[in-house]
Amino acid sequence: MAGAPALPALPAIARLPVLPTWRSALDAIWSALADDGGAGAGLTRTGPPSPGDGPRRHLERDADEQARIAALVELAQGGDKEAFAQLYDVYVDTVFRYVIVRVANRALAEDLTSETFLRAMRRIDTFTWQGKDIAAWFVTIARNLIADHVKSAKFRFEVATADMRDADERVDAPDTEVLTRLRDERLVSAIRNLGSDQAECITLRFLQGLSLADTAKVLGKSEGAVKQLQLRATRALRKALDGVEL
C-alpha cells in the first residue's frame, strides 16, 4: 500500500516468542478441565505430566506493560511508524495463532495476519483506548477478514497437528513426548467437535490468553454470557474426554 509504514516481514512470525505456546495453552485447558470443584474428577490422566501442567493461567499483562502498550498506541495514532512496528511485534503471534486455527493453512494465515495489521495501521486513529488490551481490536479485525475469505463465518477449529507440534517445546524423554502428544491430540479433536461459539470461546480464552472482557468484546457478548459459554464448553470437553487413559 503506497505510503504505508513498512512492517516486519511475515516470515519473522516463526522466530517471535510464542505467547502463549501451544504447550502452555493446552496445559491451561487441561487445568480448566480438572478444576471447577472436582467436576473433572471423571477425567483420567494417567500419562506423565507435561512441563506446563498445573493450575497455570495465561498471565494478564502487568500494569507497566499495559502503560507501555497504551503509550505505543498513542504514538502510533500520531503517525509514529516505529511505535506501530512495536505493537506488531507484541501482538503478531496472538493474531497469527487465532488465524491459523481458523484456516489451517500457513501461507493463507500469514497473508491474513499481514492484512490484519495493514488494516489496523490504516485505522489505528479509530481505536479508542478504554483500559482494555488492544489485542481484542486486532483479533476482531482478523475475525472479520477471515469471514470475508471463507464461505461461512462460522468458527471452525482447524489447527493442524503439525503446526501444534512445530510450535511446541521439545520433551526430553521420547516416551513422555509421545504420551503427551497423544493426549493433546485427543483434546484438539474434542475442541474441533465443540459448537462454533464454544470452540471460539476456548480458542480466545486459552490459545490467545485473552481476558474475559476482551473475549466478550471480540464475540460481541456480555461477560456473563462468555462465562456461561466457557462453562458449557469445558463441560462438553470433560464429557468428550471422560475415561480417557493414555
**Mean per-residue pLDDT for 18-25?**
60
Nearest to 216 by CA among 124, 117, 140, 102: 140
Q: Measure CA 166 to chain center.
A: 16
Give the other-Cβ count within 10 Å of 151's Cβ.
6
d(CA 53, CA 34): 11
d(CA 139, CA 104): 17
Report the number of secondary-structure helices (H) and strands (E) in the chain: 10, 0
Q: How many residues are there in the chain?
A: 246
Predicted TM-score (pTM) of the model is 0.73
Q: What is the pLDDT of residues 118-168, one digit of tens each?
A: 999 999 999 987 766 799 999 999 999 998 887 776 788 876 666 666 555
Q: What is the pLDDT of residues 36-65, one digit of tens each?
A: 533 433 444 433 333 333 333 334 567 788
Q: Which three cell numbers stand for residue 197?
A: 461459539
CA R_g for the chain: 18
DSSP secondary structure string for all residues of 70-85: HHHHHHHHTT-HHHHH
